[in-house]
Chain A
Amino acid sequence: MDFSGKIDRFMVTLIDKGAYTKVLAGLRNTVTIAVVGLLIGIMIGTLIAIIRVVPKNNPVVRVLDKLATVYVAFFRGTPIMVQLLLGYYILFPLLNIKLSSLVVCVLIFGFNSGAYVSEIMRSGIQSVDPGQMEAGRALGFGYGRTMMKIVVPQAVKNILPTLGNEFISLIKETSVVNFVGAMDLYNAFSYIGSSNYEFMVPYLAMALIYIVMVLLITGLIKLMEKRLRASDKR
């Protein structure tokens, strides 16, 4: 069968037989997992980054710092697929928490992203002039409040482009969520492939969707960077 025939059959399955709903569901999951995962990651990452940069002058902070180090080492040192499997089949069942596979994916992606974002955020915080913290303290703000109101906002601005790259990684990594039974693009296109006994076109289409998403996000980041540079010159 020639290539255009393959495309025709793909289109028939996709549209006339309604497989597009599966694709849309997969796309929705991919975006949900990446977006919510990144948001959770930013929250966890900011917390960890702060724990790692605060002066270590009390034992509680030192313990938290050690825990944070272990956390980051684990999530950066194991593949996300392994983390998904551990979470879905071991951690949450052990804790007796029943969650849909999508929610598990969102959480694990959030935890995983937290480890990466913490490193990004830490360098962002360290890139902010220490004079900013001093000025806040000198006014009478505590360490935490100065951090949240003055330092972190500036750090976030510095690391926005890097966070964008983290988002792109998340989008691409969502291609493993089918291991715990969440519907994703791979599921959707595999379904089309197996109903037609033809995998080339579906998988090419899948690659195309990923590329388009990534290019879109890259474009958005570029735009954001440009805006930020302009606002610096203000």
Chain B
Amino acid sequence: MISVKNIYKNFGKLEVLKGVSCEIDKGEKIVVIGPSGSGKSTFLRCINLLEHPTYGEVWVDDDLVTPVDPYLHFDVIKVSDTYKKLFAAAKAQGTGQSDDELSTDIIMKIKREDLLKKHEGKEYHALMKQIYKDNALNINLARQRIGMVFQQFNLFNNLSVLDNITLGPIKLLKKSKAEAEEKAYALLDRIGLRDKANAFPQQLSGGQKQRIAIVRALAMDPEIMLFDEPTSALDPEMVGEVLDVMKELAASGMTMVVVTHEMGFAREVATRVLFMDEGKILEENTPDVFFTQPKNDRLKDFLSKVL
């Protein structure tokens, strides 16, 4: 349902992701672990494009949500001045190839030798612009299908709990207020916080905030939920209540990608555990194998520290 293909991400000179690929299927619960600074958050944020990958693609079902790399798309190459010039020249020479063969050869040559320049004519720019525009729309639409829960909760401070939950469904999914509120109350019941519907975020404990942040994302009926260290900012006594909500969510069949330091959660819930270090996925496996028979030395080292 989501496929991340060979993603690179640089912040200026700093290379944070160095070729990360990952196929996430419906119903999977993927837990990502790794040392601080290894790029776990960046990886997660690339999935819903809160960070734009420097290179590589993110697909949500059949929609490409990352901007287009012109070299990956024949249509773009075909309208460039470079292509037209090469094509006309080859035609004039008369190589005896069919137009289709000629076209493929030239496209391959352009890709191989990196011949596209910045200025490739009006048509090229118009097409790129159109693709970017479609992409921008795609990104917002794709994000509606991808829920995200942050370490710092990020509830909207200017809105009540109920409004936090219903804002997206009403404005983005065009639900009626009544319908959205009904759903919000049902979700609040699920986490036992119905009585907080009219409270403001400042009045809630960390654990309550995080549970409501989860519910806010769920109200959009996402196909997948991303969690970035959802319990790291919580007092120890509140970690359990948030993990319980996440376990229940997992049991209900939600597709989840969770960055966390909670190894117990990984063991219990994950269908697959990924180990990231220095911008790469160094090992991935089912939790039983992952924790008992780690292969990578750095993973062994890491596990010996955290277990």
Residues of A whose CB lies within 8 Å of any CB of B are 129, 131-132, 134-142, 145, 149-150, 153-154, 157, 231-234
Contact = CB atoms under 8 A, between A and B. Distances in A.
Interface stretch (B82-90, B100-108, B153-161): B153-161
A234 B202 contact: yes
A138 B143 contact: yes
A142 B157 contact: no
B203 interface: yes
Interface stretch (B71-79, B165-173, B258-266, B294-302): B165-173
A77 B66 CA distance: 44
Contact of B171 (A134, A141, A154, A234): A141
B155 A139 contact: no
Contacts of B127: none
Contacts of B48: 138
Interface string B203-237: 10000000001001100100000000000000000
Contacts of B152: 129, 131
A139 B143 contact: yes
Contacts of B154: 129, 131-132, 134-135
A139 B220 contact: yes
Question: Chain B, interface size: which category?
Answer: 20 to 34
Contacts of A140: 140-141, 143-144, 168, 172, 220
A139 B168 contact: yes
A131 B202 contact: no
B251 interface: no
Contacts of A233: 202
Contact of B143 (A137, A153, A157, A234): A137
B60 interface: no
Interface in B130-169: 140-141, 143-144, 146-148, 150, 152, 154-159, 167-168
B172 to A, nearest CB: 5
Interface of B: 48, 50, 140-141, 143-144, 146-148, 150, 152, 154-159, 167-168, 171-172, 199-200, 202-203, 213, 216-217, 220
B154 to A, nearest CB: 4
A137 B202 CA distance: 21
A132 B164 CA distance: 11
Contacts, number: 66
A177 to B, nearest CB: 36
B221 to A, nearest CB: 12
A154 B157 contact: yes
B143 A149 contact: no
A5 B30 CA distance: 90
Nearest to A151: B158
B50 A149 contact: no
A150 B148 contact: no
A132 B167 CA distance: 14
21 contacts: A129-B154, A132-B157, A135-B148, A135-B150, A135-B154, A135-B156, A138-B147, A138-B150, A138-B217, A139-B143, A139-B168, A139-B172, A139-B216, A140-B144, A140-B168, A140-B172, A141-B140, A149-B167, A157-B158, A233-B202, A234-B199
B156 A132 contact: yes
A145 B143 CA distance: 15
Given A135-B154, A138-B146, 11 more contacts: A134-B154, A135-B156, A137-B143, A138-B143, A139-B216, A139-B217, A140-B140, A141-B172, A149-B167, A233-B202, A234-B203
A70 B199 CA distance: 44
Nearest to B49: A137
Contacts of B148: 135, 138
A142 B203 CA distance: 28
Contacts of B158: 150, 153-154, 157
A58 B213 CA distance: 33
B155 A135 contact: yes
Given A131-B150, A145-B171, A153-B158, A139 B144 contact: yes
Contacts of B155: 135
Contacts of A232: 202
B269 to A, nearest CB: 22
Nearest to A142: B140
Nearest to B199: A234
Contacts of B50: 134, 137-138
Q: Which of B143, B158, B172, B203 has the most CB of A within 10 A?
A: B158
A141 B139 CA distance: 10
Contacts of B147: 138
A21 B273 CA distance: 81
